[in-house]
Amino acid sequence: MRGTGATIFPVARAMATEKKILIVEDEGGLATTLKDRLRKEGYQVNVAKDGLSGFALAAAEPFDLIVLDVMLPGQSGLTVCQKLRERGSSVPILMLTARRQLTDKVAGLKTGADDYLSKPFHMAELLARVEALIRRGQPATAASRHQFGTVCVDLRRTEVSRDGRAVAVSAKEFQLLRYFVEHRGATLSRDELLREVWGYDVTPSSRTVDVHVAWLRQKLEKDPRNPQFILTVVGLGYKFAD
Ligand code: CA
């Protein structure tokens, strides 16, 4: 095993660092040109030709970037973008807009696109934007995103999702969850949680912590009465599973 490990490891590492891009574009010629060029740059590329299949692909597997045309058959790029954001996805999105449609640019950014490019564009410009978006999205994503089971918490974007769907949490619930996630594996007393999460602006009551923990379990745990993430440490407090 030792002998083969040396050859397997570099391959595995190369695959892990290969960035995945999804192109959602109905103009066949443009889609092919983009796909070929991005592949040449070393990206792994998938293409969808309409909004519905684009959304389905984006929802099914993680991408590092989505190049999303606005004018698509069936469902517009704006709708696709909005739906992805609603379900808690923070994938960088580069929107392709028609030249004269300034409103598309505004609408695109409003629905959560990170950048846009007007058609026709120079390939060099698209490549530069793609690279910048992937670079920008990366360290922050890695540092701020925490996955446990099917639950994903994005600390930077203050988003929580479970089974790919956005979960609505209150500001206090999010702060408590953040503290848990940042102290995984440590036993946290109710006093510490009150002090760190609630500060001194409330009348201290360990019941406050218990109630919020119950709410979080309700929202995040498959079986709230038999929690897998936010564990009770009898007599001491709580612990977020490591
Ligand atoms: Ca189009």
Tens of pLDDT along the chain (242 residues) come to: 444 433 444 443 344 468 999 999 999 999 999 999 999 999 999 999 999 999 999 988 889 999 999 999 989 999 999 998 887 788 899 999 876 666 666 777 777 888 889 888 999 999 999 998 888 765 444 567 888 888 999 887 778 999 888 999 888 898 899 899 988 999 999 988 988 888 765 566 778 899 999 999 999 999 999 999 999 999 999 999 98
How far is ligand 1, taken at its centre, from the CA of residue 119, in Å?
A: 10
153 and 132 housed in the same domain? no
Q: Which residues contact 87 (CB under 8 A, 6 or more apart)?
A: 59, 161, 164, 165, 166
51 and 83 housed in the same domain? yes
Alpha-carbon distances of 54 from 31, 42, 94, 165, rounded to whole Å: 13, 21, 14, 17
How far is ligand 1, taken at its centre, from the CA of residue 235, in Å?
A: 61
1 lies in a domain? no
The residue range of the domain holding 194 is: 145-240
pTM of the model: 0.54
How far is ligand 1, taken at its centre, from the CA of residue 138, in Å?
A: 28
Tokens representing 18 are: 């290969």
67 and 92 housed in the same domain? yes
> CA-to-CA distance for 151 and 187, rounded, in angstroms?
21
Residues 75 and 81 sit within 8 Å (Cβ to Cβ): no
What's the number of domains the chain is made of? Answer: 2
Q: Write down which residue in 112, 137, 162 finishes a domain.
A: 137
41 and 86 housed in the same domain? yes
How far is ligand 1, taken at its centre, from the CA of residue 76, in Å?
A: 9
For the chain, the residue count is: 242
How far is ligand 1, taken at its centre, from the CA of residue 49, in Å?
A: 9
203 and 114 housed in the same domain? no
124 and 155 housed in the same domain? no
